[in-house]
Chain A
Amino acid sequence: MSLALDQAAWTAAKVVFAIFGFGLGIAGFLGWVERKQSAVMQDRIGANRASIFGFRALGLFHPIADAIKMLTKEDFVPRGADKTLHALAPMISLGAGLFCLAALPFGGTVTALGRAWDLQPIASPVGVPLVLAVLALGAHGIVMAGYASGSGYGLLGALRGAAQMVAYEVCLAASLAGVLFLYGTLDLQEAVLWQVRHGLWGIFVQPLAFLLFLTAGAAATKRAPFDLPEGESEIVGYHVEYSGMKFGMFLMTDFVESIVICGLVTALFLGGWSVPGLNLPGMGALGGLLMAASFSVKVLLLLFLLMQIRWTLPRFRFDQLLDLGWKNLLPLSLLNFLATIWGIYLWR
């Protein structure tokens, strides 16, 4: 087999793994975690009824049962809706989220079987802006969904989604400016390697940026307490007129987008795939596995943290949310950026 074809097959395999194995796998798992974690926090048992041949496995089959339910439900489109946009919207949202997964650095480069294997599915020298840009595309799906539903509530959700996206994508990028300046690269893999080289995680160099990015990230991905576009007790949300798998795709988008944000945080602030004290790139195939495992564990821990926040805090009001974004997070991000540049200037 020619080398080029070999490379293409390897890349395809990595992308498929990133999207279906890592992305959808964890997204399904998160559905279970969300139920169980909230149940533990709230002194409940949580979902535990789905079973296969009598095995309940702590309710682990519920995501599967959910998927079957959503696939077999009636796909309802309201009379006043724009059918094309209505169908397209969830695909755009989910597609954008899934694409971002493929750009995450699941691991570095390891040598095995006589050749080098780069574990990052889509390596790009502009990885960070690429992910942020595509992630922002997901908001188009929300606006489309709300607009195409022909429902007042949907439209309100769409407007909220659009305003929130604009407010927080700016913070998202601004909070990263400092840390990227420090790493001197826009490549996610290079950022991880910088942390490996210096033996220092980004969270210790830029703790404020970490907090700002995590907050803005939770807001940009509409996780509670920032879940205003779908504020279920107020406006029900942009997906009020969705049912069946289209609704399931929106649900999954939420999970996938949180995974992407947590993946970015892991890569930029938590040392990515590295494990302190272990030289993973030099350990061959085992190193590659450990890299992916280390990356996944860090992402999962962050996701648990986000869920913990979600089940604890009440929801913001719309104007308060925008105030927080524009008047607090953005100035802080910019100050952090300026301080970083000043620090680097003095240090050099």
Chain B
Amino acid sequence: MENGTHATERSQKTYMLNMGPAHPAMHGVVRLILELEGERVASADCEIGYLHRAFEKHAEAETWNNVVPWTDRLNYVSPLINNVGYALAVEKLGGIVVPERGQHIRTIACEISRVTDHLTCVGASAMELGAFTVFLYMIKAREYLYQLIDQLTGARITTAFTRVGGVKADLPADFAAGFRGAAAKVREAVSESDQLLTKNRIFMDRMEGTGVCSKERALAYGITGPFLRASGVPYDVRRAHPHLVYDRLDFDIPVGRAGDNYDRYLCRMAEIEQSLRLVEQCLEKIPAGPHSLDPKEMKDAYEIQDLGKFGDTALLRKYAARVDQTLEGMGPAAAAATRAGDRAVTLPTKEQTYTNIEGLMNHFELVMWSWGIKIPAGETYSAVEGGNGELGFHAVSAGGDGPYRLRCRPPCLFIMAALPELLRGALIADIVPTFGSVNMIAGELDR
């Protein structure tokens, strides 16, 4: 390709090609508008928004817990991480701390989901390069993990597993054994795929040096996750801003150098192993005890006072007042200092609900509009490490039943913003591995 041709001459030599929204390589729905010189991409533009479902606006009309199922639909390849990310944001806002066991279960759920996410991404990229068999090996491995997720949550994709203050259910009885079996099969599939791809000349030629994103550009675009780490920045939310129990677990952060598709592939493959290790450690260390907060009807004294001031007397009888033992009173300042992890936010057990009137009433009140969980007014940003990078939720509460505003930071939006730059000057065939390594999930991109 000759460079520096005159602009008018150039415009005659190029032609426009629409890639998507219905195109085999554009998983989900997204449209690339390509300007081509032969097979070379002169410029690319991407149009997003085909899967816009008004998630954020929708959340404003829901109660805090009712948003959880909608988060499943964000990154539908690793829905559990979305569930956890959202719950952590709400709990941060409400000053709620989940019991240890619940935190371990959430960590386990997140890491299993990360493995399914990476398996899908690597497998789909390989399939689009023509290595169809690898895709099926990976999907088979993912299936074992999906079965585990199914046992844990009752669903494969629409997990809706977390609640404000805990998780839906404890681990099933034989979960640890089930995981050991599944992990062995995943490791086998990963090593098989590794043998088929990593040193495969054709695969390396396709992946190496294509879609290169330098450290500086990646940071400038706000890219996170495996994409950023492959460019050589060891930023991982799990390490940088520890949440759940990550600060107590031992794991490595694989970092690439070149920032090309091959490094991203290697990063993801290495992260699968790290995630499996994390789950193993969690299963080893998981303490006994409740997985969610006890459904005590207890509120800080000042909150009950405030309710009374607003004439909300119906609620007054329902809650026991917790007073500060320092006798300084329980003002908001003191509350922040002594904020405990046992607010009444979780539903009573089914046994309680079905067999005694207190349980039944408690259950109904929690699920009824304007009677349920009320998060104190305020706003916060909380992030977890999603499959694609930093998955953040900015939650604003006006003290009501549900979010006043909920903003989701989808990790792949920022990578998609960088995509036109990555594709410029590449061949049409390079779009496939580059776009594959972006791991665009339309659900979280368009929300």
A residues lining the B interface (CB < 8 Å): 38, 41-44, 152-153, 156, 159-160, 224-225, 227-228, 231-236, 311-320
Contacts and interface: CB of A to CB of B under 8 A. Distances in A.
Contacts of B23: 236
B128 A312 contact: no
Contacts of A41: 133
B24 A233 contact: yes
Given A231-B429, A236-B23, 14 more contacts: A38-B133, A43-B140, A44-B136, A152-B16, A159-B38, A234-B25, A234-B431, A314-B126, A314-B203, A315-B129, A315-B202, A317-B429, A317-B430, A318-B429
A37 to B, nearest CB: 11
Interface centre among B38, B128, B200 (most CB of A within 10 A): B128
A346 B85 CA distance: 77
Closest 4 CB pairs of A and B: A315-B130, A233-B128, A314-B129, A314-B131
Nearest to A41: B133
Contacts of A153: 17
Given A225-B130, A236-B24, A311-B132, A318 B39 contact: yes
A317 B136 contact: no
A318 B427 CA distance: 8
Interface of B: 15-18, 23-25, 38-39, 126-133, 136-137, 140, 196-197, 200, 202-203, 205-206, 427-432
Nearest to A312: B133
A152 B133 contact: no
A137 B131 CA distance: 30
Contacts of A224: 130
A314 B429 contact: no
Nearest to A163: B39
B429 A311 contact: no
Nearest to B429: A317
A44 to B, nearest CB: 7
Contacts of B427: 317-319
B196 A234 contact: no
Nearest to A233: B128
A326 B429 CA distance: 19
Nearest to A226: B130
A312 B428 contact: no
B137 A233 contact: no
23 contacts: A38-B132, A41-B133, A42-B132, A42-B133, A156-B428, A160-B39, A225-B202, A231-B130, A231-B429, A234-B428, A234-B431, A236-B24, A311-B132, A312-B131, A312-B196, A313-B200, A314-B197, A314-B200, A314-B202, A315-B130, A315-B202, A316-B202, A318-B39
Contacts of A318: 39, 427-429
B1 to A, nearest CB: 11
A81 B3 CA distance: 34
A146 to B, nearest CB: 13
B269 to A, nearest CB: 15
Contacts of B129: 233, 314-315
A282 to B, nearest CB: 46
A311 B128 CA distance: 13
Contacts of A319: 427
A311 B135 CA distance: 11
Nearest to B26: A233
Interface of chain B, helix or strand or loop or mixed?
A: helix
Contact of B127 (A233, A235, A312, A320): A233
A225 B130 CA distance: 7
Nearest to B38: A159
A225 to B, nearest CB: 6
A306 B199 CA distance: 21
A227 B429 contact: no
A230 B256 CA distance: 33
Interface centre among B130, B131, B196, B205 (most CB of A within 10 A): B130
A224 B132 CA distance: 11
Contacts of A160: 39
A231 B18 CA distance: 16
Contacts of A317: 205-206, 427, 429-430
Nearest to B140: A43
A326 to B, nearest CB: 16
Contacts of A43: 136-137, 140
Contacts of A316: 202, 205-206
A217 B414 CA distance: 44
B39 A156 contact: yes
Given A224-B130, A315-B202, A233 B25 contact: yes
A305 B430 CA distance: 28
Contact of B136 (A42, A152, A233, A236): A42
Contacts of A156: 17, 39, 428
Contacts of A38: 132-133
Nearest to B428: A234
Nearest to B196: A312
Contacts of A152: 15-18
Contacts of B432: 233-234
A42 B132 CA distance: 9
Nearest to A236: B24
B406 to A, nearest CB: 36
Contacts of B25: 233-234
A159 to B, nearest CB: 8
A311 B133 CA distance: 6
A169 B408 CA distance: 55
Contacts of A236: 23-24
Contacts of B16: 152
Contacts of A314: 126, 129-131, 197, 200, 202-203, 206
Contacts of B196: 312
A311 B428 CA distance: 23
Nearest to A153: B17
Nearest to B205: A320
A236 B26 CA distance: 12
A234 B23 CA distance: 8
A316 B131 CA distance: 11
Contacts of A312: 131, 133, 196
Nearest to B24: A233
Contacts of B429: 228, 231, 234, 315, 317-318
Contacts of A313: 130-131, 200, 202
A233 B430 CA distance: 11
B119 to A, nearest CB: 15
